[in-house]
Structure 1
């Protein structure tokens, strides 16, 4: 699995997403901040935080909870 969390600097929703991912015991993921990248800003600007599985392109948009994260991860296995 190649997970990426797209997020912004100083984003309280992103902080909450990190808490949910920890509670869900999500596997390791890459952090990508979209603030300085116009392409990522256009794709994710209004949607962050977004958890993406890079190989399949599957995405889980905020808001999500522990159960939603676990369903997302189970579907990728």
Structure 2
């Protein structure tokens, strides 16, 4: 079974990013995944790609949310991912 990774693309002084991080850390209490936080301001390509969208959440490289991050939606995505991993 492969480890699931959630990546949060964020930047400093971003209240929505802070809320998204808190939401993901809450989910980590019930779901097993690796959490990565990437500051888009350290990379021009990321700033150009996500500058107006942050926070952006990727689940194993797939974009699953941006802006307001919905805990229920991400939880459903994690559930779907765990089900598909069990079938492999």
Q: TM-score, normalised by structure 1?
A: 0.80
Larger radius of gyration: 2
Structure number with the higher helix fraction is 2
Q: Distance in 2 between matches of 1:33 and 1:72?
A: 23
What corresponds to 2:67 in structure 1? 62
Q: Distance in 1 between matches of 2:81 and 2:53?
A: 21
- Considering only aligned residues, what root-mean-square deviation do their CA atoms show, in Å? 1.7
Q: Give 5+ residue unaligned stretches, structure 1.
A: none
Q: Give 5+ residue unaligned stretches, structure 2.
A: 83-88
Q: Distance in 2 between matches of 1:58 and 1:12?
A: 20
What displacement does 1:65 show? 2.4
Q: Distance in 1 between matches of 2:59 and 2:34?
A: 11
Q: TM-score, normalised by structure 2?
A: 0.72
What corresponds to 2:36 in structure 1? 30
